[in-house]
Amino acid sequence: MRLFEGMSQKQIDEILIQAGAEERIFEAGQYIFTDLDYPRYLYILRSGSVTVEKNDGDGNRIIVNRFNKKDTVFGEVYIYLDKRYESSCAAAEESRVTVIPLEYFKGNEKIPNLLTDNLLKILSTKAFMLNQKVYILSCNSLREKLFRFFEIAKDDKGLVRLTMNREELADFLSVTRPSLSRELMKLKDENGHKDFSEIIEMAKKCPAPDQIESGEIVGGFAHKQVIDLAGQVIEAINNKAITKFIVMAGCDGRHDSRSYYTDFAKSLPEDTIILTAGCAKYRYNKLGLGDINGIPRVLDAGQCNDSYSLVLIALELQKALGLDSVNDLPIVYNIAWYEQKAVIVLLALLSLGVKNIHLGPSLPAFLSKNVVKVLVDNFGISGISTVEEDMKAWVTTEAADEGHDFISENTILSDIVTRYPQSLAYFQSIGMHCLGCHASRFENLGQAALVHGLSVEKIIEDLKELIGE
């Protein structure tokens, strides 16, 4: 149901002019409104797609809805509510949106009756859809949720055409993506089989894919291959041809923040070697970083489970260099995490006593303040910052005391916690319990102090003392 259904183009134009409507372009990932905002507009999607999402106190994202049909109306629930949005809305791709000031609808006796009728029908439809979602989420098991979702989503021919990717569907069903993937793999027909014949026949009719790139990627550097090169590696270390190893293993993801790892790899000095495993490597394994005396600057051990090889390489290097601890090696750990398997790899490293691991692009939302305290106090776990600052702090020989100015009243809250996880317990001790919510991504230290009635100067002083700046 469209807002202007049944109206002539002339009537529509007159309403938009009287209401002071505007058309705006939102880039992919750009917020149209957040849960910090008070409603000001009614929105009409002209092109693209938008996602309505909600973050809980632990930082988990729940997709409330996704709109991708032209002329879809959203934000209409808040026309007569004097309260902040309970969810945020972002463009999933470049989107064109018409915004109509809400003042047009309040106390305006000249609103056409047809427009009012259409608006009521839209509200009724949205209420029905929300009831359907409650019906889906009320199921006890993930399988039941999926069956109810498919039953509602199927068309007249019994086909289900998904408009969400797997991650978005997982958020919609309030489950993790790995759990959803495992359950989808288990689905079979009534005879206990999976029938892909229709998909195969359709694939046969599709044109062949176009080649989008060509080249070579050298891999296969598990522990045996690297240990065979031990003499060559040790010689390069002793000659200062290799000054540091950078462990950049872990996960990849679609988020723009993960371009950090591409930029970090590009910025590394030419006397450094990257040790990698897992899909994180796809952020930098095509950069053509060259080699050091015949040793490739990206040594790819394989998949996530092959992180075992990276551990053996580190232990062999420790033995060959005659060092007392693996932590004495010239190694920096810059790990990208995304799924539970990466957490298991992290626990394996901690069990070996590996310290000073840097995690990014954000810390896991499920970390409680007590767990953070143990990880920081015993293992020196910390987050990432910017490529420039991390390069100075971990890799180059430049003084890192420029970080002294990192914390100021203009520093974003979430940036502080990501870089200095030990600050989480401090913030909670002074009454700032919103570090997992949307606000911490946008509020700076000065704004947060003002909201909580605290002295920003005292907070900055305490934080610098806490982290030893």
315 plus 433 within the same structural domain: yes
Contact in structure between 169 and 180 (CB atoms under 8 Å): yes
Query: How much is the pLDDT for 226?
Result: 84
In this predicted structure, the answer to whether residue 1 has a pLDDT above a threshold of 90 is no
Answer whether residue 119 is part of any domain. yes
In this predicted structure, the answer to whether residue 165 has a pLDDT above a threshold of 90 is no
Here the tokens at position 249 are: 């293993």
Answer whether residue 31 is part of any domain. yes
Answer whether residue 199 is part of any domain. no
Coil, strand or helix at 230: helix
Answer whether residue 221 is part of any domain. no
> If you average pLDDT over residues 241-249, what whole number do you get?
92
373 plus 232 within the same structural domain: yes
In this predicted structure, the answer to whether residue 429 has a pLDDT above a threshold of 80 is yes
Q: Are strands 50-55 and 244-247 parallel, antiparallel or unpaired?
A: unpaired
Answer whether residue 3 is part of any domain. no
Give the number of other CB atoms < 10 A from CB of residue 242. 20
> If you average pLDDT over residues 7-29, what whole number do you get?
91
Burial class (CB in 10 A: 0-12, 13-18, 19+), 180: buried
109 plus 170 within the same structural domain: no
In this predicted structure, the answer to whether residue 400 has a pLDDT above a threshold of 50 is no
Pick from 101, 117, 137: which residue ends a domain? 137
Answer whether residue 102 is part of any domain. yes
282 plus 326 within the same structural domain: yes
Distance CA 191, CA 183 (A): 17
CA 59: distance to chain centroid?
11
Here the tokens at position 358 are: 């840097």
Percent of the chain scoring above 90 in pLDDT: 22
133 plus 253 within the same structural domain: no
Closest CA relative to residue 332, chosen from 353, 357, 315: 357
Q: Token pair 């502080």 is at which residue?
A: 416
Query: How much is the pLDDT for 404?
Result: 47
177 plus 240 within the same structural domain: no
pLDDT in tens, 439-452: 455 567 887 888 78
Query: How much is the pLDDT for 276?
Result: 92
Helix (H) or strand (E) holding 228: helix 223-228
Answer whether residue 198 is part of any domain. no
For the sheet with 50-55, list strands across it.
31-33, 88-91, 50-55, 61-67
Query: How much is the pLDDT for 397?
Result: 52
Pick from 188, 218, 253: which residue ends a domain? 188
- Give CA separation, 71 vs 14, 49, 67, in Å: 17, 11, 10
182 plus 309 within the same structural domain: no
Of residues 229 and 17, more confidence is placed in: 17
Q: What is the CATH number of the domain that holds 95?
A: 2.60.120.10
248 plus 393 within the same structural domain: yes
Domain that holds residue 161: 142-188
46 plus 99 within the same structural domain: yes
Rg over CA atoms, the chain: 27
Query: How much is the pLDDT for 431?
Result: 81
109 plus 163 within the same structural domain: no
121 plus 159 within the same structural domain: no
Query: How much is the pLDDT for 365?
Result: 64
Answer whether residue 193 is part of any domain. no
433 plus 365 within the same structural domain: yes
Highest mean pLDDT among 192-206, 259-273, 368-382, 421-435: 259-273
Cross-strand pairs, 96: 25, 47
Query: How much is the pLDDT for 444?
Result: 77
Distance CA 120, CA 106 (A): 15
pTM of the predicted structure, to 2 decimals = 0.52
Pick from 188, 215, 250: which residue ends a domain? 188
Distance CA 204, CA 189 (A): 23
Contact in structure between 189 and 195 (CB atoms under 8 Å): yes
Give how many domains the chain has, as a whole number.
Answer: 3
pLDDT band at 242 (very low <50, low <70, confident <90, very high): very high
Cross-strand pairs, 138: none
Here the tokens at position 93 are: 């791709």
Closest CA relative to residue 95, chosen from 65, 129, 122, 70: 70
In this predicted structure, the answer to whether residue 386 has a pLDDT above a threshold of 90 is no
